[in-house]
Amino acid sequence: MAKKEDIFLIIILLIIIVVLAWVIANLDILFPTPGAQALIESIA
């Protein structure tokens, strides 16, 4: 039978994996960057 601390480790790891996967899937929303056209316009 799995120990309590093993279950705790698995849960913590799963939470971190889900959070990281969510962050990676939503990089465009979390770190918005202007497109090439908008960038050229902002510099000009």
Partner 1 sequence: MKETTLLKKAIRTAYDNKKLFFLSIFLDILFFFVYGFATAPIYLKLMANVNIIGAHAGEAVKTATRDSQSMFSALSSEVIAPYFNNIIWLLLILAATTYLTYCIFQAVNWKIALQLTGKKIKYLDYLKKFLLLNILWFILFALYYALGLVVDIRKILISTLMQTQASNTLNVVLVFYLIFIAYFAVISYIKLNLRKSISTGTSKIKQLLPSILLIAVYLLALNIVIKLLASIHPLAGIIIGFILLLPAMTIARIYISLTIQKM
Which residues sit at the interface with partner 1, rule CB under 8 A? 2, 6, 9-10, 13, 16-17, 20-21, 23-25, 27-28, 31, 33-34, 39, 43
Provide the minimum distance between the beta carbon of 21 and partner 1 in the complex, in angstroms, as a whole number: 8
Provide the minimum distance between the beta carbon of 1 and partner 1 in the complex, in angstroms, as a whole number: 12
Total H helices, total E strands in the chain: 3, 0
Provide the minimum distance between the beta carbon of 12 and partner 1 in the complex, in angstroms, as a whole number: 10
Could you give the CA distance from residue 22 to residue 18 in angstroms, rounded to a whole number? 6
Q: Answer whether 10's CB lies under 8 Å from 3's CB.
A: no
